Amino acid sequence: MTPSVFSQAEAQLLAPGGLDDAALTQVLDSMLSHQVDYADLYFQYTRSEGWSLDEGMVKAGSFNIDEGVGVRAVSGEKTAFAYSDEISLPALERAAGAVRAIGAAGRSAQAASGRVLHGTALYQGHDPIASLPAADKVALLEKVERLARARDPRVLQVMASLAAEWDVVFIARHDGRRAADIRPLVRLSVNVIVEHAGRREQGSAGGGGRFDFAYFTDAKLAEYAHLAVDQALLNLDARPAPAGAMTVVLGNGWPGILLHEAIGHGLEGDFNRKGTSAFAGRVGQRVAAKGVTVVDDGTLPNRRGSLSVDDEGNPTQCTTLIEDGILKGYMQDAMNARLMGVAPTGNGRRESYAHIPMPRMTNTYMPAGQHSPEEIIASVKNGLYAVNFGGGQVDITSGKFVFSAAEAWMIENGKLAYPVKGATLIGNGPDVLNHVDLVGHDLALDPGVGTCGKEGQGVPVGVGQPTVRISGGLTVGGTA
C-alpha cells in the first residue's frame, strides 16, 4: 500500500464526513471503556457497474454506489457488530454505543501508538468504470457476440455480460493501526447455445481480475468466444457418462474449484477452532499423499482473489496449508487466530461494510509437480478426464462433495477416447487427497471468474492446480 493509496482512501471516506484520526481514536476508545479484546472500524466506498447482452441487444444495465462503515467489538468468542450507510461522527458514536455493551465494564484491550499497515502493491488503483466510455463497453459485448457466431454456424444464441467494481476501504483498529486499499475488479462472461439435428448444448467462458477494461483485448475476447463455442460443440458429440468407481484425471486451472470447495473450506480457521472440520486437530499429521502441497496466496499480482491487505488491515501472505501431505496450519482472521493462539494469516474477509469478517480463502491452489499432462493421461487404462467444472456442493464437517463436470472425456488405453456429458464426481475431500498419486508440471490458475459463498457472504476468489491423477476415492455418477 503506497502513501497515495492511504491518502486517497482518507479523502474518499473520511474527509467528506469531517472525520480525522483523532475522531476515530475517540470512537475506538469509547468502545474500550468496556472489556473487549478487539475493536475496529471498516469504512468502504464501492462503485459498481454491469452490462448484459442477449440476442444482439444490451437488455440490462446497472450502476450502483454504496458507502458506509461497519463497527465491531469482539469479546472472547462473542462479536457485536453494527453498521451505518452514513459516514459521520454521530453515526459512528451511535454504532459504537450499540456494540460496546458486549463487554463488561472495565478495560481489556489497550490502545497502542498508531502506525500504518502496509501491504504489497498488487494492482493499480485506477477506477475501471471510468476507463472506457459506455458506448465502447456495449461495443465490446457486441464484438464478443460476433466472434462467437463467426466461430461456427451452429451457434444459436450468445449471452455476454460485463461487470466492473471500484472499491475503496479504510480500516481503523483499536491498537492504533490503520490500513487502506483501493481495489479494482473486472469480469467478462460469455455463454453460448449451439444446435444441431434438434439437439442443443451450451458452453461458457470468461475471465478478469484486478485490472481496468484495457485487459479485454481483441485476442482475449476471441479466446473467450472460441472456448465457449468449442465447449458447446464438444458437448454436441458427447455420449452419456458411465457410472462407477474409476481413476479420474483432473485438468489444470479451473478444476482447482474442487480443491477449493472440498478441501479449502475445511482449512479455514473458524471451522477448525469449533471442531467441525474434518481437518480439526490434525496439524502436523499426514492428511494427503506425499507430493501433495496446498497453499493459499493473497499476494499474486492482479489476481481476482488477491488483496494488498485483508479486511482487518493485515497484509496478505502466501500460507502453506499442506506440505508434501502434512497439514501445516489453517487460514486465520484476527479473532480465530487469537483464540487458537496463532498469528493471523491475512485471510480476514467480508463482503462489505455491512458484514462481519471471517476467515476466507484468497487464491487457493496446488503447486506444480514433475509429470507432464500427456504422461498422466497415458498412465490411465480406463478412467475419466475432467477438463472443466460446473456447480458443486460440499459438507464441511464430513468433507463429502458432489461436483458436475461441464467438459469431460473417457480415457481408454491411455488415450482420450470420446467426450461425455452428465458426469458428476462424488467423494470425500480428505480421502481424495490421499489418492492423488501423480501431479503435473502444468500449474495454471483460473481465468478470473470465481466467487465464493460462505454464511451468506460472497467474495471474489481464485483457484488453480496442475493436472493430477486420482487413483481411488472417487465415484463417477453418470447417465449411461
17-68 residue pLDDT tens? 999 999 999 999 999 877 889 999 999 999 999 999 998 888 889 999 999 9
Of 29-38, 115-124, 414-423, the poorest mean pLDDT is in 115-124
Here the cell at position 67 is 458507502
pLDDT value, residue 3: 60
Q: Which whole number is the average pLDDT over 361-381?
A: 98
**Is residue 364 within 8 Å of 295, Cβ to Cβ?**
yes
Distance CA 78, CA 163 (A): 37
**Mean model confidence pLDDT for the chain:** 93
pLDDT value, residue 35: 82
Distance CA 170, CA 354 (A): 14
Q: Which whole number is the average pLDDT over 84-93?
A: 96
pLDDT value, residue 473: 80
CA-to-CA separations, 148 to 95, 145, 154, 201, 451, in angstroms, rounded: 51, 5, 10, 14, 25
Neighbour count for residue 201 (Cβ, 10 Å): 20
Checking if the pLDDT of 113 tops 90, the result is no
pLDDT (tens digit per residue) in 423-447: 999 999 889 999 999 999 999 999 9
Amino acid occupying residue 166: W
Here the cell at position 51 is 452490462
Distance CA 33, CA 16 (A): 28
b/e string for 318-327 if b means 16 or more Cβ within 10 A?
A: ebbbbeebbb
Q: What is the 3-state secondary structure (H, E, C) of the chain?
A: CCHHHHHHHHHHHCHHHCCCHHHHHHHHHHHCCECCCEEEEEEEEEEEEEEEEECCEEEEEEEEEEEEEEEEEEECCEEEEEEECCCCHHHHHHHHHHHHHHCCECCCCCCCCCEECCCCCCCCCCCHHHHCCHHHHHHHHHHHHHHHHHHCCCEEEEEEEEEEEEEEEEEEECCCEEEEEEEEEEEEEEEEEEEECCEEEEEEEEEEECCCHHHCCHHHHHHHHHHHHHHHHHHHCCEECCCEECEEEECCCCCHHHHHHHHHHHHEHHHHHCCCCCCCCCCCCECCCCCCCEEEECCCCCCCCCCCECCCCCECCEEEEEECCEECCCECCHHHHHHHCCCCCCCEECCCCCCCCEECCCEEECCCCCECHHHHHHCCCEEEEEEEEEEEEECCCCCEEEEEEEEEEEEECCEEEEEEECCEEEEEHHHHHCCEEEEECCCEECCCCCEEEECCEEEECEEEECCEEECCCEEEECCC
pLDDT value, residue 108: 53
Q: Which whole number is the average pLDDT over 204-224?
A: 97
Checking if the pLDDT of 112 tops 70, the result is no
Q: Which whole number is the average pLDDT over 85-106?
A: 85
pLDDT (tens digit per residue) in 287-308: 999 999 999 999 999 999 999 9
Sign of CA dihedral 389, 206, 260, 397: negative
The segment with the largest mean pLDDT, out of 72-81, 103-112, 144-153, 393-402, is: 144-153
pTM: 0.94
Per the model's pLDDT, the better-predicted residue between 133 and 392 turns out to be: 133
Distance CA 270, CA 356 (A): 13
Confidence of residue 480 (pLDDT cuts 50, 70, 90): low
Neighbour count for residue 2 (Cβ, 10 Å): 13
Q: Which whole number is the average pLDDT over 447-465?
A: 95
**Is residue 419 within 8 Å of 395, Cβ to Cβ?**
no
Q: Which whole number is the average pLDDT over 372-394?
A: 93
Distance CA 97, CA 23 (A): 15
* pLDDT above 70: percentage of residues in the chain: 96
Terminal CA-to-CA distance of the chain, rounded, Å?
Answer: 54
Residue 439, phi then psi, degrees to nearest 5: -125, 125
Checking if the pLDDT of 479 tops 80, the result is no
pLDDT value, residue 34: 75
